[in-house]
Structure 1
């Protein structure tokens, strides 16, 4: 404890004396600074709307600060942190631990879950798919896929240790760089799609929107690989690159910063456009501003502005080795270092481009239409025959077998077609009801009820969106309750559509069977969703308040009041 206090005092004194020098730069100024209790680690993350910046420190805290430098919250992670932080598509933060683990924290700064695998410092941060799934590698070469609720979907072992952070590309393909020089490509359900052997251990892959992969090797070679695994070209730089660096892609150009200070700009066809150098080494990726300006940080904390037709210009010095610098949409450069300070640097000529990115989760009944891909799978064909049979016994058998496959553990490749078959079962009787004795009856409510609950157990954000759409059509109270329960179990509602649909259900009580039990299921589901996201939301508040306008029993009203008081 005494050593820590002495260290803190020394660093504080240095900062006080260094501050005038930090402010001395004429071209780049400090927009704001934020002091922590330890060195800044890893790459800062920026929220989808550009309003928040997140970072981790060796003091074991995860910090949330506005892009203007105002403190929002900090969360104590409890263990030593790794250089590992990422933001999911629904805004959830995933922080890595040095002992081998991931902590999921919501945008309000509360822990949702943690997953410990105990294999040491991870090679990079987790990546998240468009369906909310989390992919990450361990130090020993294991690859995991987790659901957004922390459930294991699958786990595989590679032939070598993972050498750099994994990357997720087009169609949620996972690209894994290995120390033995192999680039491994996996499908979202954990099967090897293709692999290619390159020269040297590999850095972090970069994937463009067309599915082309660009990757640096320890031999100083940049490779371009097609979406089917074919080698398109390679360019030998003759330079060494830090294991922390990777190609930066913008406007069909690749920017490479080498250890020796050489900077290469190459087009997507492998042609050298220009190169430049700074008088120091470089250990972090090149930095590209919002308007295309090129900046480079040295390990000494010197920031250079670089162009092809001018000598590099020193524009800022922080006197400490920086972590991965990140440019925000407002043109600020975020970084930090061993001085325990997180910096927002104003690059001066960068324009504010913060328009706010809306989170969009793909919806629709065809999201799990996997017939074309799985038509050769005999198990899928067999189960689909049972599902589409007119026999209630066959459908019950299909449900039992699907549940058995889920309970066995990691569904792996079976995951998408299990969800597809459950969707088919859930739909039956809703879009094709039968008329009997002058009234409409629903087919197979017990089957559809079970299908909904299983979807809530193994589903993803696509499933959540699909179940929310389903609320419009279901009139059987038992199935409706199961769908609401499944939505609550999936928890994530980034666009607020589930909470909006719950309000609509309550407002249509006269035309739908919204009794006390259904109302209570809605309240429980809302409670789980707001606990996951850390915010109530207007629709959820209106839905809970609407409970008091109707003649629901005391138990339902008390439950609604309890949720409201919690926020």
Structure 2
């Protein structure tokens, strides 16, 4: 209830502030338009931050709706990213327990999955770092699937960090309980990473793809793994042809 009162008070203050801005004289129209825009953005950020940190799962989902609108509207900023990081890691890295020692009371996989999706849409290095943390720490397949998809969408793979992380989680599930959807999302991510980087040279990724192709997965997933291997071979062949052409030119 305290959170609802805080948000209600915040909205009331926000309304008063907006009214004050619009009540200025017409002599400052240009300045007011900038001020109004800044005020609106600041209010939006405050409301999103309060909603994200509410105890209610529903309030967190509402915050994510606002975040999605902000990203689509080109209003993403470091504050939005911080809020997404908070929601993405809440319940795993950041846990609240009943009475301080009891069950986890802020574990909302659907919230984390949606946060992972929006981190992919942000596409920043910081967003990629949060997604890697999610893959390494989250136990829920639905969350991991969205995080892997977003890592593929971003596409960066410096020092094979992303491809190795994806391989690690797929192998972990493969040993305990193979997950077809998780494996498929990994294959799609590998392909997108390869497309953006001219291939993948990470041996762990290749081993993981072979493992999926030959492992305990449904046939469509196995077939997709073989397709992914063929795609990676094409990138390797292209690189070899380029290297061969450069060597011939130097001679």
TM class by smaller structure: 0.5 to 0.7
Query: 1:501, CA displacement in angstroms?
Result: 1.2
Q: CA RMSD in A?
A: 2.4
> What is residue 535 of structure 1 aligned with on the other side?
199
Distance 2:88 2:150 in 1: 12
CA contact (8 A) 1:485 1:521 kept: yes
**Residue number among 84, 88, 91 corresponding to 1:426 in the alignment:** 88
* Pair 1:492-2:156 in alignment: yes
Change (3 A) 1:392 1:469: closer
Q: Which string of whole-angstrom CA distances, capped at 9 and with x for unpartnered residues, describes residues 486-512 of structure 1?
A: 111111212211111122112212676
Query: 1:388, CA displacement in angstroms?
Result: 0.6
**Residue number among 51, 57, 74 corresponding to 1:392 in the alignment:** 57
Q: Which string of whole-angstrom CA distances, capped at 9 and with x for unpartnered residues, describes residues 404-423 of structure 1?
A: 11122x22xx4211111111
> What is residue 48 of structure 2 aligned with on the other side?
383
Which secondary structure does the structure 1 equivalent of 2:137 belong to? coil
Q: Which has the larger radius of gyration?
A: 1
Distance 2:103 2:57 in 1: 21
Query: 1:467, CA displacement in angstroms?
Result: 0.8
Q: Which string of whole-angstrom CA distances, capped at 9 and with x for unpartnered residues, describes residues 99-149 of structure 1?
A: xxxxxxxxxxxxxxxxxxxxxxxxxxxxxxxxxxxxxxxxxxxxxxxxxxx
Distance 1:460 1:560 in 2: 28
Distance 1:562 1:496 in 2: 21
Query: 1:377, CA displacement in angstroms?
Result: 4.0
* Pair 1:451-2:118 in alignment: no
> What is residue 468 of structure 1 aligned with on the other side?
132
Change (3 A) 1:514 1:459: farther
> What is residue 481 of structure 1 aligned with on the other side?
145
Q: Which string of whole-angstrom CA distances, capped at 9 and with x for unpartnered residues, describes residues 227-257 of structure 1?
A: xxxxxxxxxxxxxxxxxxxxxxxxxxxxxxx
Distance 1:562 1:391 in 2: 44
Query: 1:514, CA displacement in angstroms?
Result: 4.2
Query: 1:446, CA displacement in angstroms?
Result: 1.6
Query: 1:452, CA displacement in angstroms?
Result: 0.6
| TM norm structure 1 | 0.31
* Pair 1:403-2:65 in alignment: no
> What is residue 335 of structure 1 aligned with on the other side?
none
Change (3 A) 1:560 1:510: closer
* Pair 1:565-2:246 in alignment: no
| TM norm structure 2 | 0.68
CA contact (8 A) 1:475 1:513 kept: no
Distance 1:505 1:400 in 2: 29
* Pair 1:552-2:226 in alignment: no
Change (3 A) 1:478 1:433: farther
Distance 2:109 2:198 in 1: 34
CA contact (8 A) 1:387 1:421 kept: yes
Corresponding residue pairs, total: 187
Distance 2:89 2:186 in 1: 21
CA contact (8 A) 1:419 1:459 kept: no
> What is residue 417 of structure 1 aligned with on the other side?
79
User: Gaps spanning 5+ residues in structure 1: where?
Assistant: 1-375
**Residue number among 157, 166, 170 corresponding to 1:506 in the alignment:** 170
Query: 1:548, CA displacement in angstroms?
Result: 3.4
Structure 1 outlier segments of 4+, above 6 Å = 438-442
Query: 1:451, CA displacement in angstroms?
Result: 0.9
Distance 1:387 1:441 in 2: 15
User: Gaps spanning 5+ residues in structure 2: where?
Assistant: 1-40, 234-251
CA contact (8 A) 2:178 2:217 kept: no
Distance 1:442 1:522 in 2: 27
CA contact (8 A) 2:213 2:223 kept: no
Q: Which string of whole-angstrom CA distances, capped at 9 and with x for unpartnered residues, describes residues 66-90 of structure 1?
A: xxxxxxxxxxxxxxxxxxxxxxxxx
CA contact (8 A) 1:505 1:514 kept: no
Q: Which string of whole-angstrom CA distances, capped at 9 and with x for unpartnered residues, describes residues 296-345 of structure 1?
A: xxxxxxxxxxxxxxxxxxxxxxxxxxxxxxxxxxxxxxxxxxxxxxxxxx
Of Structure 1 and Structure 2, which has the larger fraction of its residues in strand?
1
Change (3 A) 1:465 1:512: farther
Change (3 A) 1:489 1:520: same
